[in-house]
Amino acid sequence: MERPVITPAPVGKENRIQILDSLRGMALLGILMMNIPFFGKAYALHYNLDILGEYSGPNYWCWWAVNGLFEGTMRAIFSMLFGAGAILLLDRMEKKPMEGITPADIYYRRLIWLLIFGLINAYIFLWPGDILYTYAITGLFLFPFRKLSAAKLALFGAAFLLFATIQSTSKIRKPGKIREKGEMAMLAEKQHKKLTESQKAEKEEWVSFQENHSKAHYKHEIAESNKNMQKGYVEIQSDLTGINKYIETKDFYTELFFDALAFFLIGMALFKSGFLTGERSLQEYAAVALFAYGVGLPLSYWIGSTAIQHHFDPSLTWQEFKVSPYHLKRLLMAMGHVSFILVLYKLRIAGFLLKLLSNVGQMAFTNYLMQSLICTFVFYGYGLALFGKLERYQLYEVVAAVWIFQIVFSAIWLQFFRFGPFEWLWRSLTYWKRQPFLKESGTV
């Protein structure tokens, strides 16, 4: 049988929006792969294989598949698309302004409501890994950048990514410094030298660090976490409140803000350049995918294998890197994944899959919040109470089930409704007016 000739074709405006939804759907489903260890197991187990000796079998290979190929990348893609969405919204509104409402008014209203939904996701739905709060606050800074060229946006994005890398480098180097100073103080003590007050403090800090990173300590923390997450709703909410406060204050300013802002701006640049909307050539997407994977995959392997080599000891693992490679790896792998999807799109293959992803992407807000509701019910004590009871690889059976449900649910829902339920609510609150919901209820 003769094979059909596949010819890349120009992309229409409607399809360009659909490909953004497809990319958003891919990122949304992928985010659950990253979040599921935090939903279903104690925090200490999400990355560290050494605690339970998971160096072989399905848990080991599952760890490599997830952390080697996807860790951090889906959030990066989601952030890029958030930036692209900001440009798309503001561009539409500035070209066709609404009477009595400025584009800035609508933009900031959306973000304020997004922040409120983020607080609900964290404190009511009980998901400490919520990203909406971070996106809402960081998104407040995007409005002044909307008119910049793609090149300038990329430059600002790179600058903020460099700043995030400096922050990350400072963080990962700290355990090594604690070890170095502590061991020097211990050596001086062995040589019967009188320790200074500073050396005594450094020795105590190193001893405390070792205790807090010992297997015995980790296993005690895990047992406590497993016990606490079997409690009822009120007790779990009380336990998670402190974690949420930490993430939305110190963690936000020391890690999440510049991370999100950098990828927002990169996404805005990619949107303005036509990269995210499928307007560039097939050859360009293929070249970017090959380069990004060619550099990103070895870098990802280097990071993972170094952690395994040093048994996930942070005072040894990260000292192999003079500069944190984390954000560079995320950027490369994210660009590889995006480019790969766009290669499929330009070749006009896997159209059915892209359509399914597009449905999920159109309802990304609903599906994201739904993941919190489903997974907290499956794992927390007031639901099925499976927290701490599944192997690492079994968590991804839950992921597959949620994926299937959300793909089917999104496809069926959009046959009858214009928006997902939370999208509709968000839109109605933003415009302070009930929006059309049913497909036959009029035009939007």
Rounded to an integer, what is the distance from CA 168 to the centroid of its chain? 16
Q: What is the pTM of this model?
A: 0.93
Average confidence score pLDDT of the chain: 93
Q: Which of the four pLDDT bands, split at 50, 70 and 90, describes residue 8?
A: very low
The answer to the question of residue 2 being in a domain is no
The answer to the question of residue 1 being in a domain is no
The answer to the question of residue 356 being in a domain is yes
Each residue of 308-365: pLDDT tens digit?
A: 999 999 999 988 899 999 999 999 999 999 999 999 999 999 999 999 999 999 999 9
Please give the single-letter amino acid code of residue 218. Y
pLDDT of residue 439: 86
Each residue of 114-156: pLDDT tens digit?
A: 999 999 999 999 999 999 999 999 999 999 999 999 999 999 9
> What mean pLDDT comes out for the span 7-27?
69
> What mean pLDDT comes out for the span 50-75?
96
Each residue of 378-416: pLDDT tens digit?
A: 999 999 999 999 999 999 999 999 999 999 999 999 999
CA 431 – CA 110 distance, rounded (Å): 9
Each residue of 163-195: pLDDT tens digit?
A: 999 999 999 999 999 999 999 999 999 999 999
- On the question of pLDDT at 441 being above 80, the answer is no
Each residue of 254-273: pLDDT tens digit?
A: 999 999 999 999 999 999 99
- Provide the token pair at 175: 């355990």
Each residue of 219-265: pLDDT tens digit?
A: 999 999 999 999 999 999 999 999 999 999 999 999 999 999 999 99
- On the question of pLDDT at 14 being above 70, the answer is no
Domain range for 389 is 13-441
The answer to the question of residue 5 being in a domain is no
The answer to the question of residue 355 being in a domain is yes
- On the question of pLDDT at 11 being above 90, the answer is no
The answer to the question of residue 3 being in a domain is no
pLDDT of residue 318: 85
pLDDT of residue 444: 40
pLDDT of residue 17: 81
Split into its structural domains, the chain has a count of 1
The answer to the question of residue 4 being in a domain is no
- On the question of pLDDT at 16 being above 70, the answer is no
Each residue of 75-124: pLDDT tens digit?
A: 999 999 999 999 999 988 888 887 778 899 999 999 999 999 999 999 99
The answer to the question of residue 358 being in a domain is yes
pLDDT of residue 248: 93
pLDDT of residue 92: 87
